[in-house]
Amino acid sequence: MIHATGPLLSVDLGARETTEEDIDDVLGEFAGGRGVATKLAFDRVPFDVDPLGPENRVYLATGPLQHSQMSFTGRMNMTSVSPLTDGVASSNAGGFLSRNFTGTGYAAVELRGVSDVPLAVHVRDDGVEFEEVPDLAGAEVPAVTEWAEDTHDLEAEHLACIGPAGENLVRYACVLTSETRAFGRTGMGAVLGSKNVKVLTFDGDSEADVEIDPIGTEIHREAATSDHVMKRQGTTSVTEYANEVEALPTDYFSALSFDGVEGIGGDAVESKKYKKGTCSQCAFACKLPTRDEESGVETEGPEFETVMAWGSNQLVDDVVEVMKANELCDRLGVDTISAGDTMAAYLKSEDDLANPERAREALRKAAYREGEVGDLLAEGVHRAAPELGVEDWSVKGLEFAAHDGRTLNGQGLSFATSNRGADHMYASFYPKEYPLVDKEQAVDKRGLDGKAPMVAAAENHNAVLDSAVACKFSRDFMTEERLGSLLEADYDDLLEVGARVVELERAFNNRRGFDRADDALPYDIEGFDAALDEYYEARGWREDGVVPGLGEADTDVGAASADD
Ligand code: SF4
């Protein structure tokens, strides 16, 4: 199996010192990206760590495919213990950062400790520079980008930064790169905020010794010439279909379809698109730069999930209002899904849905933890729901994505088993239950018969993509055979690698107290308990969801306790 190359750069933020370590054994076993980052976290982060404490660590990592010129490889991975889920979690961003990260020559970067002043950490191929940036305290994301350009002649695609939400430890704060691409889910922005890291930059010309199979050129050519609907409408191309089959969360999850879908769906978003948008090297170009001439709002997106969280779930039927929310989320540095669901919960509790202006105002308060309401909403749905008096629509503390599991039952099961909570990309099971392109691939969306092993296999497959690192939207181009060929491995062996990644995440979380009770949904699916049994059996885990050995408290593995 090919893998990323280079050492681990470990950055001590308190002492402002760095060390380099050979991690070839980890790279050989896990390829790169999420796999390598998860293994490093498992071995080096105490199981009882406070996600927002100095002992927590952050891992950034790319994979071997970032050394190629292939489509679907403009992405990279960030891993830490999440302040939202309280478990180890990985987040994945597109854009152009991965190529600049690769240019530094490091396979992975670890951030540990905490700085006493807001810090910019510049990682280059010829060394690391620590720069105190007190003037950037409180800066919104575009201001950080402007600063990097003005003072360092660095474009936004070299940056990973946080907005005010990250600094204020909003649990669903994200890390932005290229201003609009986000390590969105699981609160990585709050972890950087807790470390007083405002911005990371990556720059260099290092080259890796990785050869990529010519099949990559074929995939690239197909992506360039395809007339796939996502090239016009991106992820929003699924909106009307999701609505039609009743899989579009609406009215804070109390309904599954939305009468106003026309105003926020794929066609509405496409009507605001003014140019093509893409990630590094990707000819598929599914991104959505949008502009509304009348209001002047300009943003990238909204993606389908944002259309759900700030549109149907809030009973908002105007795409321009969703664009405004999308732009504000990026500026303040929050995950659009978690933020939108949280504001939907708040407005539901106030019986004031369909009020987009009030939702944005509430988000501003949350980003600055302003007043009691802002402070409460900064905690996310799971922690705020009891006080708001609404249902807790989350799994393991992570707010729900769309593709509703009450209709797409296999996707529902995967929301429950996902180690990072109610996220649609952990298994990406939904295309199997409503494929847009190849209807032949469809499995019956209702019922769970035979789906548990399929969910486990889909999780393993995605863990391989996240380690490679390849975009999940390569799915109509990257066959199993092609993936094996690209990574120079048998596909079944790759699935074993993916299974090890999922198992390490599970074992880490077991050590933090997670078990079967956490693999739970806020709704019933017929046959759910039996399917969960089947899922654990397929993975070789105990029937209480614990990994034998690694996940058991009396097995001696991992880092020492944070109190040691
Ligand atoms: S398919 Fe879309 S999200 Fe994926 S790498 Fe290409 S442009 Fe980026």
Provide the pLDDT for residue 185: 96
Nearest in space to 184 (alpha carbons), one of 195, 194, 173: 173
Sign of CA dihedral 349, 353, 355, 360: positive
Kindly give, in sequence order, each residue whose CB lies less than 8 Å from that of residue 201, ignoring residues fewer than 6 positions away.
120, 121, 122, 123, 148, 152, 154, 158, 159, 160
CA of 179 to the centre of ligand 1 (A): 16
Provide the pLDDT for residue 213: 79
Which token pair is 264?
């926020």
Mean pLDDT, all residues of the chain = 96
**Strands 17-21 and 8-12, bridge-based pairing:** antiparallel
Where the chain has pLDDT below 50, the residues are: none
Atom 2 of ligand 1 has which residue's CA nearest to it?
286
CA–CA separation, 83 vs 192, rounded Å? 11
Task: Read off φ and ψ for residue 334, nearest 5 degrees.
Answer: -130, 155
DSSP state of 220: H
Provide the pLDDT for residue 348: 98
Condensed to tens digits (0 to 9), the pLDDT of residues 230-288 reads 999 999 999 999 999 999 999 999 999 999 999 999 999 999 999 999 999 999 999 99
Give the residue, out of 157, 226, 233, 284, with the most ligand 1 atoms within 8 A of its beta carbon, to mutate for a pocket test: 284
Q: Which atom of ligand 1 is nearest to the CA of 94?
A: 8
Ligand 1 touching residue 286 (CB < 6 A)? yes
Nearest in space to 424 (alpha carbons), one of 436, 411, 435: 411
% helix, strand, coil for the chain, step of 5: 45, 15, 45
Q: Are the CB atoms for 510 and 554 separated by under 8 Å?
A: no
Ligand 1 touching residue 94 (CB < 6 A)? yes
Ligand 1 touching residue 477 (CB < 6 A)? no
Q: Which residue carries 């999930």 as its tokens? A: 305
Which token pair is 337?
């899904």
Ligand 1 touching residue 74 (CB < 6 A)? yes
Task: Read off φ and ψ for residue 398, nearest 5 degrees.
Answer: -95, 130
Stretch (H or E) spanning 122: strand 119-124
CA of 163 to the centre of ligand 1 (A): 24
CB count within 10 Å of CB 66 equals: 29
Q: Which atom of ligand 1 is nearest to the CA of 278?
A: 7
Ligand 1 touching residue 96 (CB < 6 A)? no
Conformational region of residue 505, where left means phi above 0, alpha means psi within -120 to 50, and beta covers everything else: alpha
CA–CA separation, 340 vs 326, rounded Å? 9
The three-class DSSP label of residue 453 is helix
Vertex 300 angle, CA 297 and 303, to 5°: 115
CA of 473 to the centre of ligand 1 (A): 6
Provide the pLDDT for residue 162: 98
Which token pair is 70?
């292939």
CA–CA separation, 124 vs 115, rounded Å? 20
Ligand 1 touching residue 471 (CB < 6 A)? yes
CA–CA separation, 10 vs 21, rounded Å? 8
Vertex 484 angle, CA 97 and 451, to 5°: 95
Which token pair is 212?
């990529």
Which token pair is 104?
């530094």
The three-class DSSP label of residue 311 is coil
CA of 284 to the centre of ligand 1 (A): 6
Asked if the peptide bond before residue 51 counts as cis, ω within 30 degrees of 0, the response is: no
Provide the pLDDT for residue 437: 54
CA–CA separation, 338 vs 173, rounded Å? 9
Instruction: Enumerate the β-bridge partners of residue 91.
Output: 78
Sign of CA dihedral 284, 487, 185, 524: positive
**pTM exceeds 0.95 for this model:** yes
Stretch (H or E) spanning 543: none
Provide the pLDDT for residue 210: 76
CA–CA separation, 197 vs 557, rounded Å? 30
